[in-house]
Structure 1
Amino acid sequence: MDDFFSSLIPIQEDDPLNFSDTPIHHQDSEVPIINNNICKGKRQPKNPSSAIILANNDNGKNPGDEKQKRVVHRNIERQRRQEMATMCASLRNLLPLEYIKGKRSVSDHVHEAANYIKHMKKNIRELEAKRDKLRNSLDGSSATNSSSIIFTVRPCSDGGIEILVENDLADNGLPLSRILDVLLNEGLNVVSCVSTKSNEKFLYVIQAEATDHLTDVDLFRLQEKLTGKFNNRN
């Protein structure tokens, strides 16, 4: 067959269509293998910590900042627990023994603290009622004794003694004569006695002098004696 075609179409050796002497090189067909991970997306690192770092880098966060935040959070939580323990201990110390006896949990202590507060409020209300009752009784006794006589004894510039006597207008039973008797018994001569009205009160000014100029009169003792004698008239 080849001879037949050769006879029909003569081919020269340098003819470019002559393929008889041209070597044919066979190349193995190699198909590149594509990694399934690459086809799916980014390669996932095998190390979990590397994955965290990669995720943080993807979010634009510094892994050091995240670690610092966790440390700060742990410190805050630790401090909070310590403060709670301190406050619970303080609360337990404030409660009477009968309220916390046999009770160990914090919830029991808080419950008993609420009961103790209610008990204390009740006691306070009772004490306030007693206080108001006593205050009213004292106000009544003060009103009854509002007519008490006030004595003030002081020296005069001329060497004598001046006795000031204040008495309420409602009390007309001032025993002036008895006051003069006390002064005489103390060795004093009454020189003058003047009475006036001031601020709804009677004011008496008594001037006296010692009968013996060598006698030293104790002014404070005289004032105490007059006050005690004429304010216990009942």
Structure 2
Amino acid sequence: ETQTLVPTLRSKCLPSLLLASMFATLGLVHATYDTGDLFVSHASRGGGFVAEGRPIYTMTFFEWVMDVPLMMVLSGYCAMGRPISELSGPVVVTNIYIIFCWASLTTSSATLRWSLIAMSWVMYTWASREMLGWVSNYERTAPQDLPSRSLRPVLSVGLIALFFVYGMVFTASVTGIMDAHSERMFYLCATLTSKLAFSIAFVIIRADEYHQMLTGVLKKVSISNIGMVSIMRGTFDLLLPCTVDA
């Protein structure tokens, strides 16, 4: 039953592969910032509270488009065993509103900018509700003896909270409350911390899975040994002749 519910028990390499891909993307993106390439960041056209010439860190949005779906797959599919069909809607919508946020910084029209930001918040709300649905379905169907049963849904709830904080920081940056450098440093620290947290969570989940597996194996071996001892005792029992006095 557990094997059917949680795909990671059948595919041990998938979480490690996705985590490695996310760290590789993070390293690549921030390595490009050090090159000073003009294609890494762009100058804002201003308008709608955005200062003229404010840097737009395009590669940060590229990293999100690449890594956010992987984090959602890790939390929904790998951790809670939700089917890909259930994940596809929120994943696609999340990537769309990430692109909308980037596009809102490149336009000089304040009306278009705030329309894109407003639509992004609406799509975030819908995607978050769907992700909470993953948790609800998981709680209803997950076996009680599933390793790290209470930890797995925390990843999805944590992503919802993380995306909300990202949205607040982005909005604060657009309105001029936060400067571009502070915004970028926050994104770097939060992204690195979240990926490390995912790595630690899957180490714990994997350890619990192996512990449960070894416990089950030892229990079966113990039962087998008891049965074998009983057979051996039966084989070597001495038969004592008995006579009955009339």
State the TM-score, normalized to the length of structure 2: 0.22
By relative contact order (CA 8 Å, sep 6+), the higher-ranking structure is 2
Kindly indicate which of the two structures has a greater share of residues assigned to strand. 1
Kindly indicate which of the two structures has a greater share of residues assigned to helix. 2
For the pair shown, the structure with the greater C-alpha radius of gyration is 1
State the TM-score, normalized to the length of structure 1: 0.23
